[in-house]
A = this chain, B = another copy of it.
Amino acid sequence: MDTPRASSDFDGLELGFDIPARPGMAAADILTPALVLDLDALERNIRKLGDFIRARGLRHLAHAKMHRSVDVARLQMTLGGASGVCCQKLAEAEVFARAGIPEIVITNQVVDPFKIDRLARLPQTGARITVCVDDAANVDVLAEAAQRHGTQLNCYVELDIGMHRCGVATPAEAVALAAAIDTAPGLTFGGLQAYQGVMQHYRTASERQAAFDTGLELVKDTLAALTRAGLPAAQVSGGGTGSYELEGNSGVFTELQCGSYAFMDADYGAVLDADGNRYDAGKWENALFLLTQSVSTHGDGRAVCDAGLKSLTTDSGLPLVHDSQGVTYTGASDEHGKLTDPENSLRTGDKLRLIPGHCDPTCNLHDWYVGVRGGVVETVWPVSARGRSY
């Protein structure tokens, strides 16, 4: 836990200065609650996945839905060898395209005619744009829009390999859709998306292996059917932080979509690798923290901090306290977190680092990442696509 200095130097954090920190200041002085990135840990995570994909000749489209940050995406390209990013929403993709990211896969359906019109204009930024499709009527609207703007949209047929959310269920449906895309002007059939989000969080490697094997059969059958139909899939895209070794070593998948590995969170920390070790026991480092401050202590084993439901999400469990010294986060209200502190070690004003339960929706609550190295603020990055959920 960091104890901030009782500073009389307020010149840099003026009224109306809406960022939580400035480069060069002590990490202990960051205004709370704030997202803090351990830049050393972040870079190590990014290099590690980069080594994995390079060794196998795979492509990596880093899922930017997790961080929504152009700066982190650039790091994933320069240090980690990523070809570009995945996005879930059109409005996210617009941010990354405008920032010059050269390749963007929208791992989702875009069905609104207004959104499709905007989607069809995105290749004009120079980015290669891919979108997922699971419905024949959607193909017609996409093609019409691409023709209207004289652009080319790459399309993946989404295959439902077990998540039962979007996607077609059978090789026959996939072939029919691929054929429709292939003959539609303005569209290119680019391959398959086969992603199973739920299995990413299965705790044991054997559970993930079983779920993967089930899905893999459908992927293989679909690829064979596509080849027979004269529509071979150029890419097979999928995989996440929980399952990437399975896709990456399958010889079937060509493109990984991992995102959370870069920051990690409490939920992924509890995932076990093939040796039964927790993910956070060395495989991936926690690079993302929520810095919070104790605002009320009572000397009776409890304290209150300034990070609640507007600074973190509880959908995947409560945050962990990093370097906790016996302190635990036990409940979130809108702007407060309840802490138990059996040894009454916290004083009012003390700061502590939380490991968020779920990185993606937590990052989306914030406007800034404060990048820290060696106890000093090195950089402040915007959460570039925050709130761009349409």
Residues of A within 8 A of B (CB): 4, 6-8, 10, 13-16, 18, 20, 29, 31-34, 65, 88-89, 91, 94, 98, 108-115, 117-118, 121-122, 134-135, 137-138, 164-167, 197, 293-296, 302, 304, 306-307, 309-311, 313-315, 332-336, 338, 348-349, 358, 360-361, 364-367, 386-390
Contacts and interface: CB of A to CB of B under 8 A. Distances in A.
Contacts of A358: 309
A32 to B, nearest CB: 6
A137 B296 contact: no
A361 B108 contact: no
Nearest to A135: B348
A357 B241 CA distance: 30
B114 A16 contact: no
Which 9 residue pairs across A and B have the least CB separation, nearest first?
A166-B296, A309-B361, A88-B335, A10-B117, A310-B389, A310-B364, A31-B390, A109-B295, A334-B360
A369 to B, nearest CB: 13
A150 to B, nearest CB: 15
A201 to B, nearest CB: 11
A165 B304 contact: yes
Contacts of A109: 295-296, 348
Given A165-B296, A310-B389, A364-B365, A65 B108 contact: no
24 contacts: A4-B112, A13-B114, A14-B118, A16-B94, A18-B388, A20-B390, A65-B335, A108-B295, A109-B296, A112-B293, A135-B348, A165-B304, A166-B336, A167-B296, A197-B333, A306-B390, A309-B315, A309-B360, A310-B361, A310-B364, A310-B387, A315-B332, A365-B365, A367-B387
A355 B285 CA distance: 38
A33 B333 contact: no
Nearest to A347: B137
A108 B311 CA distance: 16
Contacts of A304: 165-166
A271 to B, nearest CB: 17
Given A310-B364, A390-B32, A7 B335 contact: no
A334 B138 CA distance: 23
Contact of A309 (B20, B115, B313, B390): B313
Contact of A122 (B15, B110, B388, B389): B15
Nearest to A167: B296
A361 B334 contact: yes
A134 B333 contact: no
Contacts of A390: 20, 31-34, 306
Contacts of A313: 309, 313, 315
Contact of A15 (B118, B334, B360, B367): B118
A164 B302 CA distance: 9
Contact of A108 (B113, B335, B387): B335
A20 to B, nearest CB: 6
Nearest to A302: B164
Nearest to A386: B387
A81 to B, nearest CB: 25
A333 to B, nearest CB: 7
B114 A31 contact: yes
A10 B111 contact: no
Given A4-B112, A15-B121, A390-B31, A65 B98 contact: no
Nearest to A297: B135
A113 B6 contact: yes
A138 to B, nearest CB: 7
Given A111-B293, A137-B348, A315-B315, 4 more contacts: A10-B114, A15-B118, A165-B304, A165-B336
